[in-house]
Amino acid sequence: MKNFQPGKTLNLKLLKVKLKTMANKIVDIHDLKREFIMGSEIVRALKGVSFSVEEGEFVTIMGSSGSGKTTLLNILGCLDKPTDGTYLLDNVDVKKLSRNELAQLRNRKIGFVFQSYNLLARTSAIENVELPLLYNPSVTTSHRHQMAIKALEAVRLSDRLDHLPNQLSGGQQQRVAIARALVNEPVMILADEATGNLDSKTSYEIMALIQELNRQGKTIVFVTHEPDIASFSNRTITLKDGKIIKDSKNQNVRSAKDMLASIPANEE
């Protein structure tokens, strides 16, 4: 497997993306199908979806409930395997992998951010962030600690290392979750309605952070049903009834930072 480290060759890679039309494809999906058997019925959640995500892109996947959005997310996150079609994640064919190999792939290449944060209760921020590294035997204890601090610095929480989740606000908890997604230096951050539980101001803060991470070269796939959130991304894929009905680059990418600045301070 190719080991991709976005932080180190950041500017060069961005240049390459702009100069060459053939950039490194992080996600390459071709004619993806996923069928579930519910009793005697076959439910076709995905009916042949094809798209690819290039390195450094910020893509939102939109769709109402029942559109196949969640199924697609599960497959993208290597939690589920397609019935038919191919999915290459960082040039690895997911279909051929066993359960354990999928777990390893999630550990090394994907950073999850969930709607409900999913932090371990009664566990400090830094320990929550260290968690993915505990499942990676090649990371030593001291290295693990440094990487976790670095990740928390990236989400500007370096002063909250030993805080427990119940001592943090929702936005801060989600930032810890983002740090946890960053800590293993994944090729892609996969966010599932990551702002769904937050008020608009905090949502903008999180989106500003995600935009910043994207500017630093992180590939981001963001699943949401809010068009407002989608407007912060470079590209939006819209699903309906298990098919892509729209896949377009955003012409006017909004800056979450600017949005945040435009909100009056007294609203807090």
Cβ at position 93, least distance to another protein in Å: 19
Instruction: Note every long-range contact of 141-149, with CB atoms under 8 Å and residues 24 or more positions apart, other chains counting.
Output: 147/183, 148/179, 148/183
Q: What would the x/- binding string for another protein be over residues 197 to 226, using CB under 8 A?
A: ------------------------------
Binders of another protein among residues 64 to 83 (CB under 8 A) are 74, 77, 79-80
Report the residue number, 92 or 256, with the smaller CB distance to another protein: 92
**Cα angle at 200 between 197 and 206, to 5 degrees?**
75
Q: What are phi and psi of 125, to 5 degrees?
A: -55, -45
Residue selected from 114, 149, 163, 257 as contacting another protein according to rule CB under 8 A: 114
Cβ at position 138, least distance to another protein in Å: 9
Q: Rounded to an integer, what is the distance from CA 246 to the centroid of its chain?
A: 20
Distance, CA of 108 to CA of 106 (rounded, Å): 6
Which helix (H) or strand (E) is 2 found in, with range? none
Distance, CA of 254 to CA of 233 (rounded, Å): 8
Residue selected from 120, 245, 261, 263 as contacting another protein according to rule CB under 8 A: 120
- Which of 144, 202, 216 is closest to 173 using CA atoms? 202
Is there binding between residue 137 and another protein (CB under 8 A)? yes
Cβ at position 63, least distance to another protein in Å: 17
Reduced to 3 states (helix: H, G, I; strand: E, B; else coil), residue 148 is helix
Please tell me the count of residues contacting another protein according to CB under 8 A: 27
Residue selected from 86, 107, 197, 231 as contacting another protein according to rule CB under 8 A: 107
In the chain, the amino acid numbered 185 is E
Is there binding between residue 35 and another protein (CB under 8 A)? no
Stretch that binds another protein, among 43-51, 130-138, 195-203, 207-215 (CB under 8 A): 130-138
Report the residue number, 81 or 156, with the smaller CB distance to another protein: 81
Cβ at position 62, least distance to another protein in Å: 20
Measure Cα distances from 29 to 87, 227, 237 in Å.
Answer: 5, 24, 13
The residue assigned the tokens 């950073």 is 111
Residue selected from 18, 135, 146, 258 as contacting another protein according to rule CB under 8 A: 135
Binders of another protein among residues 139 to 198 (CB under 8 A) are 180, 184
Is there binding between residue 106 and another protein (CB under 8 A)? yes
| H helix intervals, 165-222 | 170-182, 200-215
Beta-ladder partners of 246: 238
- The answer to whether 191 and 110 have CB atoms below 8 angstroms apart is no
Report the residue number, 34 or 235, with the smaller CB distance to another protein: 34
Question: What residues line the site for another protein (CB under 8 A)?
Answer: 74, 77, 79-80, 99-100, 103-104, 106-108, 112, 114, 118, 120-123, 127, 131-132, 134-137, 180, 184
